[in-house]
Amino acid sequence: MNADDLLALSPVLPVVVLHDADQAVPTARALLAGGVRVIELTLRTDAALDAIRRVASEVPDVVVGAGTVVTPDQARAAKDAGAAFLVTPGTTDTLLSAAVDTGLPVLPGASTVSEAMRLAEHGFDRLKFFPAEASGGAAALSAIGGPLPQLRFCPTGGITPAGAPRYLALPNVACVGGSWLTPKDALAARDYARIETLAKEASTLGSEATTAT
């Protein structure tokens, strides 16, 4: 799998924070039942690596990756846990080198033109745009596409179901990252039926954006 394959899996890449690894498998299965075949489990909790391990071993039809990778040790640990890809909120030379060394597809984070250009110099043309809404939203990404048309993005951060089609309609946006597919209250209630419904709705956003254009 390469970065293009990853970004083509779903119009919405679920960004998931789990505090209980026991929820990893049912959450992944609910997303899969809703038509979403990919999940980004963020390394923001102590349960994250175990959650990745469980999804990788028990839900093979879901491509599981590690998000919020901010240190070289996290990149290596995520690979060891079975992550199929890595996502970083930003990049440093040390982190980028360690992530590349894992051999996994990497979606490095950028929020400015200079950061995107620097990553392009390192050979990356598929990037995460974070934090999307706080960094200018769809208008900013549209402007970036002028001087840097070869780059494609997965914007993440503050995006809602209502706002997602504006991003997905842009030629330099491959998919969007969204935390709304697995809201905190649904996870707290173990309401996997709701997560499945939200995944089904998210699966149609790509076609809606195409129709809008």
Write out the catalytic residue numbers: 40, 128
Going from the C-alpha of 196 to that of each of 19, 183, 205, the distances in angstroms are: 19, 12, 15
Query: Looking up tokens 């840097």, which residue turns up?
Result: 148
CA dist., res. 111 & res. 115, Å (int): 7
List the structure tokens of 112: 């400015």
Element (H, E) at 14: strand 12-16
* Inter-residue contact 156 to 132 (CB < 8 Å): yes
- Nearest C-alpha neighbor of 111 from the set 92, 131, 83: 131
| Contact (CB, 8 A) for 38 and 204 | no
Q: What are phi and psi of 155, to 5 degrees?
A: -70, 140
